[in-house]
Structure 1
């Protein structure tokens, strides 16, 4: 817990209602707009977004201020300095309000990614555990730069950052499709293609004594000693005590189903006495796994010292039990059938690797069983943004490859997933969404929130307008940049976005000050995740329900013209509809339609508006 009681809260601001207004001059493309760039404080924007997006957002990515003390973080309109005694508490309070609102926006299969560095990583993880209880997925670690940059007096180069990941219960990463080329059916098995799997697992006989037993091939009568450093993967029926249940089949059933792959040559040896076995172990000619029998006295001492379980001694057969047996030298394996794979995708690794790594280096890491993100350094983001803006006015943007990798794994191309970033900065997340859609013909949409970052020293500063919007426009339409003596042209990715501004309205004057176009915007976002401009010339606004199953009608003023328009609508279609009106009682009285639902404005919006219990 942080010093919340000592921090001045924005209570009055929390009571204000928030609306959005459309700036068509800064918007790009044609309506209806499905992507949104919102200029304003993200605390305001998140409360507004509660009205339309609660429980609907598939993926949130944010790159919040890291609280370095270098004027990167504003709290209650003032920069927080390094020597501020409440510096960390103010940052936590700032993040807490916003994360609490963001949590409710996530869909049942939604996920949130948060970039952070070492300064606040530990604090943020604890805070997110509190805000998102039971939702921690993991932490990605990525290398943000190459080369060295020793830090202060410690001669330490801090080259990494983190991405914390929390998700609702139905979320899963997409992974990548496993390479099934190793699966085949050389023996014509009726069960289909199979691959040879390791019959041992990464536990030693002290850790899994029940899985330490000799394996017998009934067809050849050959026995195989268990590796004490890597016991068998499957349990034996002989050691399932007290009705113990296991998740996999016992080894006896695996043998019966002919799923154990015995060594082809089945080379074996037979010893006629214990002395002969001991001599073979000493000269190295005995099967390797028998060597442990020469150190039994050491094992007994470990049991006496509590370093190994006592029952292990009863599980190890005496050496004379191996006299007269056919003892195999090979290593049995087992059949893994392709049809029994739980998933045909490889899981995602928390290692984020530099895309500059050589192929030989990647192969040396042996990451064949996982999906790894291979992304650029921060310099990649800086280079791309400077090409678009022809300047370096925005410091340290994240590489687009990082955000593309995360969003690409969290969303798909067909489901119309909504991606949100309420610390949008230069707009990398929106750019990444457009790039993904261009690559896979996807229909993802984005909602970005970016502030002006104006302050007393730079009152005219507007990052949202001059950097975020400019970048997104370039991404949509294409851009040119100069490299040495050559001008390069980059084609547009297509798409569109609406540029909108967040405005506060005091609750007590809401009914007077809220505009009809602002109401119509939020109703469209609620029902269709898109907006078209308000039509002043029509008495009622209508959103056709081809995608949503019913029509949405907004009645700004219930005059005779509006009543006539409603009557015409009801006379020409029986399609169900929701009517939003300032006078719902009159609408119900005038039109007793069974397929009509009526909601009161602005009360309905107020009920859905986001608030934080400060």
Structure 2
């Protein structure tokens, strides 16, 4: 060992980078387990950042010539200088090997490369949003290399995530994933160790995000890697309780030559701390909720006693649906003189004998119930003083709906909800799942076709299978944060939205996917002169072509060509897919900043989404540096001028929803002084020290 240490020291004195690389590999070998799962960690992964501008000091590769289909020069070059003169910007390059070869090439022919041991300073730029959820938290979809996105989340969500669900590449050998910009094929001798190295790096980062007291990691896999994955999970999470479920996803079976037809895959549940698997309900019986008559019946509630509770409810005589709730009539105004509405009859609370009563609730709550479907129209009787009986759901039943004790299964013809209390026995789920709802073809591929009739994605997960996995761990956590860093088509986000609809939850999800173009499409794009980074290339990537449109369609209820989605959701809650979801989602692309730009706040617009995410991804966002020196949004505040500290603290104290206060200063003493003046429970964070130090110390030594 001492001899090796001396040799490494000599190597570092002659070539610091080579010596550091050698030392890292030596440490990895010396720490190798003598038992358990042993595998080559390989050289650090690297990713090409096709949309990142080339800067001095970057590592780059030379892109293939336009029209060429082969990979370009895979060697790494260092940008020594950027030459801006003339029509084309150029870069002076030096090869990162012992030869030190030099070259000068146009910037447009270079692509920046980030190795996973490099320090990164991440940012986000918004690329679109869909908003239908009013004040609900936002789901976020990040287009970027998932290892770097996980690094970014170590600053925003360290120890705060309730569930991570991932469906990683299954390592089939059929070009289903890349290692260092090359597809890993079936005849690669190091296929399994490359996959393990890739997974281990990401799982260790995922561990930093999960709440150590109560959280769950869920990983799906098939028979090609499930044994190695099981050992890797045992080694990476020795403190956890790990269970494996076999789930039938292809009841017809996938035929294989001279082998069993495969019908199932495997799901690992890795539980941290006090996390537990929740039971499922069996043998359900439904008891319809009770609707109370909206008209008060006691004689102490005749019309003059409650002036604000005598108002018209306009019911359409053809559809028998409520169209509007009018304003209360003063007690001296006859009901016959109320404003008319075309095609409607004005319904007032009147007894059969003609006695004018009051409605049971005032006009404000009545309108809220109408909007939610909590008012019901009875049978029409033309000769009655009150031609329609109006019923409503009481506050207690509405609370039971919110808490999940009452399930809404649809809507009646008059627009009122169909709701029932659930009764039945709770049983623990078994380790073998054979549910029709988990059929990947019917409820994965076919659902995607309904959402995006003109687009295809290989092997999407069954929506209801992901939903069931999540329900078993977050059914009792209505504010849960769910992360998926192999999100593919976005099934996990879709499943979270369904859970929220079922129980009124406000769960938020963070999806990470890349914008990789399918191998077949890459060839035709290259032949037509396109390269990664070109608009025509990027529009065909997974995120832009599949993930974003799928989420937009699911929320809006309209397909990618703008038509209402055909068909209904099934199981648990059945409703038209065209209804969409009352949810918010925003799409981002991961950016790579410099510490200088961050410190001088020229990169603030890219750091702003991270500040918002750390504060809960809820409410408005501070997009630009505040001219006043400070600003307070819904869940966080930002102070950039310490001389305005008193004004900032006053505003922060008035904002009851404030969670985080960001204070920009290098003066620790003044920061602490301001932090002590904030409301108890508000987290004070010093910028940009907190951000920069997080990434400076988490610079990929494990990569």
TM-score of the two chains, using structure 2 as the length reference: 0.55
1:111-510 aligned within 5 A? 111-152=216-257, 154-176=258-280, 345-355=426-436, 375-412=438-475, 415-454=478-517, 457=523, 459=532, 460=537, 461-479=540-558, 490-506=578-594, 510=598
1:586-597 aligned within 5 A? 588=670, 594-596=676-678
2:450 alignment partner, SS class: helix
- Give the root-mean-square deviation of aligned CA atoms: 3.3
Q: Deviations over 1:130-159 (max 9, x none)?
A: 11114243111111213244313x242112
1:161 alignment partner, SS class: strand
1:13-24 aligned within 5 A? 13-23=116-126
**Structure 1 residues 2 and 392, CA gap change in structure 2 (3 angstroms):** farther
Q: Does 1:533 align with 2:621?
A: yes
Q: Is the 8 A contact 1:414 1:443 kept in 2?
A: no
Partner of 1:554: 638
Aligned residues: 420
Q: Is the 8 A contact 1:174 1:409 kept in 2?
A: yes
Find 1:69's aligned residue among 157, 173, 187.
Answer: 173
Q: Does 1:4 align with 2:2?
A: no
Partner of 1:270: none
Q: Is the 8 A contact 2:557 2:581 kept in 1?
A: yes
2:430 alignment partner, SS class: strand
- 1: CA distance between counterparts of 2:659 and 2:460? 45
Find 1:563's aligned residue among 643, 647, 667.
Answer: 643
1:168 alignment partner, SS class: strand
- 2: CA distance between counterparts of 1:82 and 1:595? 61
Q: Does 1:601 align with 2:687?
A: yes
Structure with higher Rg: it is 1
Task: Structure 2: state its 5+ residue gaps.
Answer: 1-36, 47-113, 286-424, 526-531, 568-576
Q: Is the 8 A contact 1:35 1:530 kept in 2?
A: no
- 1: CA distance between counterparts of 2:123 and 2:671? 32
- 2: CA distance between counterparts of 1:34 and 1:591? 33
1:20 alignment partner, SS class: strand
Q: Deviations over 1:172-192 (max 9, x none)?
A: 1120357799xxxxxxxxxxx
Q: Is the 8 A contact 1:16 1:507 kept in 2?
A: no
Q: Is the 8 A contact 1:52 1:526 kept in 2?
A: yes
Q: Does 1:519 align with 2:598?
A: no
RCO comparison, higher one (Cα < 8 Å, 6+): 1
- 2: CA distance between counterparts of 1:178 and 1:84? 47
**Structure 1 residues 418 and 506, CA gap change in structure 2 (3 angstroms):** same
The more displaced of 20-29 and 133-142 is 20-29
- 1: CA distance between counterparts of 2:672 and 2:168? 52
- 2: CA distance between counterparts of 1:526 and 1:592? 20
- 1: CA distance between counterparts of 2:653 and 2:449? 55
TM-score of the two chains, using structure 1 as the length reference: 0.62
- 2: CA distance between counterparts of 1:590 and 1:22? 31
- 1: CA distance between counterparts of 2:179 and 2:171? 11
- 2: CA distance between counterparts of 1:59 and 1:377? 22
Partner of 1:105: 209
Q: Is the 8 A contact 2:618 2:634 kept in 1?
A: no
**Structure 1 residues 130 and 45, CA gap change in structure 2 (3 angstroms):** same
2:154 alignment partner, SS class: helix
1:543 Cα deviation from its structure 2 partner: 3.6
Q: Deviations over 1:46-74 (max 9, x none)?
A: 01011111111111111111111111011
Q: Is the 8 A contact 2:632 2:652 kept in 1?
A: no
